[in-house]
Chain A
Amino acid sequence: MRKVFPLILAGIILISVVIWWHYDSTVDVRITGIDAPRTLGVDTIRSNNMNEIKITIQNNETRPVEIKVETENAFVNAEGESVDTFIVFGYDGYRYTDYVSTQDKIKLEPGENELTLLLGYQVTGEQDVHIRIVNNEVVLDEDSFTVEVMPPEISVELDNEMIIQDELEIYNIDAYVLNSGMGRAEGVETTLSIIDQETGEVISSEIRSIVVPAHSKSAFSTWKDSPDGVIELSSGENSDESYMPVLAVAKGKTGDRYVVKLTAIWQDQIAEGVILVPYNNSEIGVELEVEL
């Protein structure tokens, strides 16, 4: 018993030491600055570095300290849930070359450390971002900031060009979805229809889901050398040309007129444009409806 008792006590001490060591919050590590944009466009993390924030952390210890950076609302998915994001160490101008998850530990050198963290939002609106520096489950420091996540602003554009081949008038239709907002529009459901002006019958139409980056525009079709729609008018027989890969195709006689309609829907935004073909190549109206 005399021999065992000291060993039991030694065990107690050791367990105490473990607890003391594990939950030691005397580690002097502080967030000294967060450099973050106040507005961002809705987007997932892409290959540009506009979604970055810089966190400056002062490690006042004389040794490196292992920490985890816990985040809330730094990355919010389409369901509005906060999920883990990335800490990046390398960016070559085109893509991130070196990064870890916020689930991973990182080591802070003594002195000032600067971390680059990525934000990403698949939902719009105000987001309260919370950053915690954690060492062995003890929060060493924490800070917050707010980001306003902006939506895309979509509109549409239609154009056409006529070429003559023998007795055929071929109208090549170009259709675009424009985005003048900060947010990226993913999955814009876009419909290009050719409608007989006289009967109102939809002769042909095509639906595509397209992506429109912020402050940019996207063509309706991804085919490089193809118009988005074709109307072929003939004074005699129409051609056998299928105009593939174009799906929105109408063939008629000289004198026929068609309404070409482009509709783009992203969440609660609907943009619609219409042109009459043939009609002096000019637009008869492009309307933008935003229902917020």
Chain B
Amino acid sequence: MPAARIIPCLDVADGRVVKGVRFRDHRDVGDIVDHALRYRDEGADELVFYDITASADGRTVDTGWIRQVSAVIDVPFSVAGGIGDVETARRCLSAGADKISVNSPALSRPDLIAELAEAFGRQCVVLGIDSSRGLDGTLTVKQFTGRPEATQLTGRSTLDWAAQATALGAGEIVLNCMDRDGVRGGYDLEQLSSLVGTVDVPVIISGGAGSMANFAAAFRAGASGALAASVFHDQRIAIPALKDFLQSEGIEVRR
């Protein structure tokens, strides 16, 4: 089996890495290439860059920084945010992104997934799902989560949407459990297990990582990869130490 993938996620605005409440008061924390290299050197298995300006402003993704990252990075990376058509995806992939991740535009127009899979192969097409647990325990998809004032409940079931999207050609799913996001209380394992049991593509879990044990639990529950932002950016968890821990727990990691 492939090694458990550790995936730091970086927010990008105007070609810089930023941190803060998404779309509000974001603070420049540095150069994209410096951050990408740092995570690569620490042993990140993959990187996700979320272009927050592109998706917020309806702008097309700036491929300049994608080229810069591609020039220095020898691990895979995907680009998310602002990709709503085949042409934009083509520009991102040509600039060096290994995968493109789509979310809200695919909810508005599910055929986008099929078009991307046909053009580039499903191994390039990642579907991001922002999932929220209702009071009755049902899992539903939220759309336009980038901006709190624009966020909508779609009424779609998370598992149904995942099944539909994989049938259309999504090759991987990033399940972002909204209720856990930024809380560092651990991934939503129940939700993860339900999704892993529903689809036969790899599932990356996102939202809630706070401790090394959280990562181990996610991999035991069937995650192919675990995505996190703040614990890595704030250096609460160092990737080499995390990999040592996972290995000691009997989970295969890339060394």
**Are A and B associated in one complex?**
no
Binding site for B on A (CB under 8 A): none
